[in-house]
A and B are shown apart, each in its own frame.
Chain A
Amino acid sequence: MVNTIMTSLTAICAVFVTFLLLMIIGYIAVRGFSSISFAFLTETPKPVGEGGGIGNSILGSAIMTLLAAVIGMPVGIAAGVYLAEYGRNWYGNTIRFVADTLIGIPSIIIGIFVYTLVVLPMGRQSGLAGGLALAVIMIPIVARTTEEMIKLVPTAMREGALALGAPQWRVAWNIVLPAAASGIATGAMLAIARVTGETAPLLFTALNSRFYNYYLDQPMSSLTVQIFNYATGPFEVEHAMAWAATLILVGTILVINILVRTVTKRRH
């Protein structure tokens, strides 16, 4: 009896979680879909009433996410390899603890950190600073998932390589890493999806821009910050554009997640 009640209770909660997600996505789709057009996806913001779009924001988000991935993935993966292969000591434990703490730190604090370290010395906000902030968020996530994935590689495989006279670094590099590659890629993609949705760290670091900007030392627009601007604006047209931009952002993250799902499913 108690068992039945508990089972139904947890089942209801599980349905509720799915329901929440569907409701959010559904609501965004309903509100945002009508404003999406080719012009909206390619044009830059214009004064209220003249249309305009989020083309520069999409580009800015892509550039900064790419920059974060280029910095964050190698560093995170290397750190993860270290933790898994050599980190069974106080040094490894310390790094693990710091990484876990870093994952838990609110992202706005990462923004302030990069603001002090990069923006203040440079004298202005920039895409570089934004990308760095996102990289700082990515690194501990990638490091910890990499470590977990590498730990799943059977010891027998390592020993097989060691027994052939392979030095430990070569075992890690060309046996363990390839064996864990699909799992690490999944973790990296999820980390990318995570930083794509970050707003707070970019407010201080990349700020925003009304123009297409290809230069990393200039303020750069991003989807999230642009949504924030449109959503807090006084006019209804701006709100509509915020919804549309949100739909694009959520859609992108959803696509990344689904992509990761299908790719990893095929592998195993």
Chain B
Amino acid sequence: MDNKISVSNLNFFYGKAQALYDIALDIPEREVVAFIGPSGCGKSTFLRTLNRMNDTIPIARVDGNVIIDGENIYASGTDVVALRRKVGMVFQKSNPFPKSIFENVAYGIRINGIHSSKQDLNDRVEKALRDAALWNEVKDRLNTSAFGLSGGQQQRLCIARALAVQPEVILMDEPASALDPIATQKIEELVVELKRDYTIVIVTHNMHQASRVSDRTAFFMLGKLIEYNKTEKMFQNPDQKMTEDYITGRFG
């Protein structure tokens, strides 16, 4: 088994408050790993340590190792910009830029200088939109504002935007929590589809979603990783009593 991401001894602090305790887990390449747990358990915080998104919070401090493709991303001298290009992210609330649909997807391609020509840029935007299952809905209005799209479409646009820079890992922070069931279903189908090419880590509050889309599931509680197992096992016969209680809804 090839591990794309390997985390060990990870502790995380907001100022003096510790938010994550000794996290250790391995994420295999081209699998979907779901993080579940009650609100405030640290799953989002942990997700954001994987592309160093917490760097933007002045009081945040990380301790431990996150190794992606054999390199510790917290080693001094890490190119955070290159890291974030490799480890893309989709956020809880869709956050399109105040630009046209086309420019939203083109933004990452442009800033990273990935395209070789205008035609290449167009092709890459189209491919990203197709991969995000959005192309057919927007191909006739690429130059209109992204804010004109529905919530579900905006979220898929954000996924397209992330795909356009050719990441290897995609982090998704509750990508469907603000969407209706139909839009949610589309996102879930997309996640399963994307697994062929990408390693995906998805935070979710929705247990069914975790069981539907993921290969492995990690259960967090009060900043600790309680259990990490194959999703099937996790939902049918978990090792920990706490996991079972949470999954069956006995507390939460």
Residues of chain A having any CB pair with chain B under 8 Å:
88, 154-167, 170, 174-175, 178-179
Chain B residues within an 8 Å CB radius of A170: 111
Q: A175 to B51, alpha carbons, bound, how many Å? A: 20
Is the CB–CB distance between B95 and A154 below 8 Å? yes
B161 interface residue, CB < 8 Å from A? yes
Closest chain B residue, CB of each to CB of A167: B81
* Contact (Cβ within 8 A) B58 A88: yes
Contact A165 B98 (CB under 8 A): no
Picked from A159, A175, A178, the residue with its CB within 8 Å of the CB of B91 is A159
Q: In the complex, what's the smallest C-beta–C-beta distance from A51 to chain B, in angstroms?
A: 53
Instruction: Report Cα–Cα, A164/B84, bound state, in Å.
Output: 6
Residues of B within 8 A of A (CB): 51, 53, 56, 58, 81-85, 88-89, 91, 93, 95-99, 107-108, 111-112, 158, 161-162, 165
A164:B158 contact, CB within 8 angstroms: no
B58 and A161 contacting across the interface, CB-CB below 8 Å: no
Q: List 9 A-B contacts (CB under 8 A).
A: A156-B95, A160-B97, A160-B158, A163-B162, A164-B84, A165-B82, A165-B83, A166-B81, A167-B81
A49, chain B: closest CB distance, angstroms: 59
Residues of A within 8 A of B158 (CB): 160
Taking a contact as CB atoms closer than 8 A, the residue among B51, B95, B111 that contacts A166 in the complex is B111
Cβ of B33 to closest chain A Cβ, rounded Å: 18
**Most chain B beta carbons < 10 A, residue from A155, A159, A167:** A159
Cβ B81 vs Cβ A159 within 8 A: no
Q: Which of A158, A166, A174 has the largest count of B CB atoms less than 10 A from its CB?
A: A166
A227 to B: closest C-beta gap in Å: 43
Given known pairs A156-B93, A178-B98, the reply for A162 and B88 (CB within 8 Å) is no
Q: Are A164 and B56 in touch, CB under 8 angstroms?
A: no
In the assembly, what is the distance between CA of A41 and CA of B111, in Å? Answer: 51
* Bound CA–CA A156/B162 (angstroms): 14
Decide: A164 near B165, CB < 8 A? Known: A88-B58, A159-B53: yes
Tell me if A160 and B98 are in contact (CB < 8 A): no
Known contacts A154-B95, A156-B95, A161 near B107 by CB under 8 Å: yes
Question: Which residues from chain A contact B162 at a C-beta distance below 8 Å?
Answer: 163-164
Smallest distance from the beta carbon of A107 to chain B beta carbons, Å?
A: 36
A156 (CB) vs chain B CBs: closest residue: B95
Query: Which residues of chain A are within 8 angstroms of B107 by Cβ–Cβ distance?
Result: 161, 164, 166, 174-175
Known interface pairs A164-B84, A164-B111, A170-B111; 15 further A-B residue pairs with C-beta atoms within 8 A, sorted by A's residue number: A88-B58, A156-B91, A157-B98, A159-B56, A160-B95, A160-B96, A162-B53, A162-B84, A163-B53, A163-B89, A164-B112, A165-B84, A166-B81, A166-B111, A179-B97
